[in-house]
Amino acid sequence: MVRLPNQVNPSSAAYQENYAHHHALATEFRERQRIARFERPLRDMQRLARQSKLFVRDRLAALLDPGTPFLELSSLAGNDAYGGEAPCAGQVSGIGIVAGHEVIIHADDASVKGGAWYPLSVKKIVRTLDIAIENRLPVVHLCDSAGGFLPLQAELFPDRMHAGRIFRNQSILSRMGVPQVAIVLGHCTAGGAYIPALSDYNVIVAGTGAIFLGGPPLVKAATGEDVGVEELGGAAMHSSVSGTADYAAASELHALALARDIVGSWPKPGKTALDRTEPEPPDYDVDELYGILPKDPRVQFDMRDVVARLVDGSRFHEYQPDYGTTMLCGFARLWGWRIGILANNGVLFNDSALKGAHFIQLCDKQRIPLLFLQNITGFMVGKDYERRGITKDGAKMIMAVAGASVPKFTVVVNASFGAGTYGMAGRAFDSRLMFAWPNSQVGVMGAEQAANVLTDIKVKQMTRDGRALGAAALEAIRSPILADYRRQSSAYHATSELWDDGMLDPVDTRNAIAIGLSAALNAPIEESRFGVFRL
């Protein structure tokens, strides 16, 4: 591997303008994240205090090993939905260290509608458990939920990937031998009662924790029986009569300490062995990423400059440097692990698609994890390219991405449009983790192109009706289409809908991928099922 040359001039006017723009975007992202994580109405925080409950972030602090990293996932999920009333989709998810064990955490946030599950809450919990299954990560559940948000029940209850998938995933984890512990810190009602019941261990807090399929009002309505919370599903009953709970705790801190003891007793699984050396930082300042990214997302830039600020020693062995040059492929190390990188330096032509497919095969055969850095407008279109088989060649790359057995990670660093999103391991292709930068966009095509296409269709419809349009009328049609498309393709909308596993400040990318790599090695890597052949 050779050290990538420094092509960045921090004193140039373009760099300075780019830096100011992207640093401001990162600052805005961090502020939005802070608000979503910590700002709650005073009445909700007072309600928690009256109930002797800790805020979810304080629960996490007491659970996690001090001084260890916590990779929070989808921290802005739901923030573009429900009128802003469900920050973080009412859930906290992430990968962290508990009693020396790598785990994934799912925590209800009772400061958001009593921990009620919105449709995106369910989607986030399901995704959290998908990550646990894919990476064989033990799970810690912090349970404190009022159950499904009834006004939206049709969007969270009946379908394949709705709430039932949570319990299906828990059952699959149990079958795989991946342990789970639930800490019942509040009410677990209806379907939510199954989270502790399906866990290997569960701890319930006396006085505030409760587990029941139907709470006292429902029992009264259904059977006419008058029964209180404690008698129906409290800590004493479940830990001494029903056996649904294993341990009764005197307080939340006591419950969290018990859970830490339980996790600490689990055997540590051996990790998949991959090529690794002593880690070293990049030779170039990661802060320079702000100046490398262009202010105008349509302006091309060299992804080698991004790679140089993510990988160990800024060293990179480029594969086929003179062929398919709009696809950058090569080997590097990240926190010591050897990885294969695919990054876009322009539209995907026939040769760049074939190059990418072949490189993926090489990495899969050699058990080298893949990192996709997306800045892609799609595969090239046009008569000549179709005659050369661009659709066929693009399908080869998509097949290689889907068939790779090694862990894949994806970061949307700028544009992610069209079928190029799929060829570069988009959401549908099961990357272990997928992140996006604040400037990124994802959609069928760019906002300007989409607005032009949709405006043209509208104009043709009106022309057929005999209506002529002037410039002002055309702009009146185009402007709202453009604004709506930009909103729907923005990084904030994508992460709100959980089309990724969270937004990242670019400077945090290296560490986030390293945590993901470490977690991925808890699971075995299947042998590649194909030989390597040139396409």
For 313-415, where are the alpha helices, taking DSSP H only? 350-365, 383-388, 390-403
pLDDT at 156: 93
CA proximity to 252, closest of 203, 210, 212: 203
Torsion of CA 481, 482, 486, 489, to 10 degrees: 60
pLDDT at 454: 75
The number of angstroms, rounded, from the C-alpha of 451 to the middle of its chain's C-alpha atoms is: 29
Per-residue pLDDT tens over the stretch 274-315? 999 999 999 999 999 999 999 998 899 999 999 999 999 999
pTM for this one? 0.94
What are the tokens at 260?
Answer: 């830490």
Question: 3-state DSSP call for residue 430?
Answer: coil
> Strand 210-212 to strand 201-205: parallel, antiparallel, or no bridges (unpaired)?
unpaired
For the chain, which residues score pLDDT lower than 70?
468-469
> Strand 327-334 to strand 337-344: parallel, antiparallel, or no bridges (unpaired)?
antiparallel
∠430-422-522 over CA atoms, to 5°?
20
What are the tokens at 56?
Answer: 């979810």
∠340-342-345 over CA atoms, to 5°?
150
* Phi–psi pair at 470, nearest 5 degrees: -90, 180
Taking the C-alpha atoms of residue 321 and residue 418, their distance in angstroms, rounded to an integer, is: 25
Taking the C-alpha atoms of residue 384 and residue 466, their distance in angstroms, rounded to an integer, is: 37
pLDDT at 52: 95
Instruction: Tell me the CA end-to-end span of the chain in Å, nearest whole number.
Output: 26
Question: 3-state DSSP call for residue 10?
Answer: coil
Unique residue bearing structure tokens 């760019």: 446
pLDDT at 472: 78
> Strand 91-98 to strand 101-108: parallel, antiparallel, or no bridges (unpaired)?
antiparallel
pLDDT at 453: 76
